[in-house]
Amino acid sequence: MNKLQRILAGVLILQIVLAVIVFLPRSGAAETAAPMLGEVKAEDVNSLTIRDDQGKTLKLAKAAGGWALPDAGDYPADATKIAPVLSKLVSLKTGRPATQTAASHARLQVADDKFVRKLDITTSGGASKTLFLGSSAGAGATHVRLGGQNDVYLASGLSTWELNTDAASWIDTLYVNVTQADVTGFSLANANGQFSFTKDAAGTWKLDGLAAGETLNASAITSLLSQVTQLRMSRPLGKNDDPAYGLAKPGAMVTLKTKKDTQEKTITLTVGAKDATDSSYVVKSSDSPYYVRAAEFSVKDWVEKKRDGFLQLPPTPAPAGTPKP
Whole-angstrom distance, CA of residue 310 vs CA of residue 306 = 8
- 204 and 154 assigned to the same domain: no
Which of these, 51, 25, 48, 53, lies nearest to 37 by C-alpha position?
A: 48
Beta bridge partners of 145: 132, 152
152-156 β-sheet, strand order: 75-76, 66-69, 57-63, 45-52, 117-123, 128-138, 141-146, 152-156, 97-99
Whole-angstrom distance, CA of residue 6 vs CA of residue 10 = 6
Whole-angstrom distance, CA of residue 323 vs CA of residue 225 = 48
Whole-angstrom distance, CA of residue 317 vs CA of residue 189 = 32
Whole-angstrom distance, CA of residue 105 vs CA of residue 110 = 5
Q: What is the mean pLDDT of the chain?
A: 90
Q: Which domain holds residue 44?
A: 34-169
The more confidently predicted of residues 171 and 9 is: 171
Residue 197 lies in a domain: yes
Residue 25 lies in a domain: no
Per-residue confidence (pLDDT) for residue 140, from 0 to 100:
81
- 96 and 210 assigned to the same domain: no
Model confidence at 153: pLDDT above 60: yes
Residue 70 lies in a domain: yes
pLDDT category, 52, cuts 50, 70, 90? very high
Model confidence at 324: pLDDT above 80: no
pLDDT in tens, 81-123: 999 999 999 999 988 899 999 999 999 999 999 999 999 999 9
- 263 and 302 assigned to the same domain: yes
Residue 317 lies in a domain: no
- 68 and 145 assigned to the same domain: yes
Domain boundary among 169, 189, 208: 169
Model confidence at 23: pLDDT above 50: no
pLDDT in tens, 278-304: 999 999 999 999 999 999 999 999 999
Model confidence at 310: pLDDT above 70: yes
Per-residue confidence (pLDDT) for residue 137, from 0 to 100:
86
pLDDT in tens, 165-201: 999 999 999 999 999 999 999 999 999 999 999 998 8
CA atoms within 13 A on the CB side of 292: 31
Q: What average pLDDT does range 262-279 have in this prediction?
A: 95
Whole-angstrom distance, CA of residue 270 vs CA of residue 146 = 46
pTM (2 d.p.) = 0.82
Q: What average pLDDT does range 141-157 have in this prediction?
A: 94
- 151 and 69 assigned to the same domain: yes
Model confidence at 147: pLDDT above 70: yes
Length of the chain: 325
- 118 and 220 assigned to the same domain: no
Radius of gyration of the chain (CA): 30
- 261 and 179 assigned to the same domain: yes
Which are the contacts of 203, defined by CB distance < 8 A and separation ≥ 6? Answer: none
The more confidently predicted of residues 34 and 22 is: 34
- 41 and 164 assigned to the same domain: yes
Model confidence at 44: pLDDT above 70: yes
- Looking at the structure of the chain, the number of domains it has is 2
Residue 151 lies in a domain: yes
Domain boundary among 142, 169, 196: 169
Residue 24 lies in a domain: no
pLDDT in tens, 208-267: 998 888 899 999 999 999 999 999 999 999 999 999 999 999 999 999 999 999 899 999
- 214 and 148 assigned to the same domain: no
- 148 and 127 assigned to the same domain: yes
Residue 17 lies in a domain: no
- 143 and 113 assigned to the same domain: yes
- 123 and 46 assigned to the same domain: yes
Domain boundary among 169, 198, 219: 169
Per-residue confidence (pLDDT) for residue 201, from 0 to 100:
85
Residue 184 lies in a domain: yes
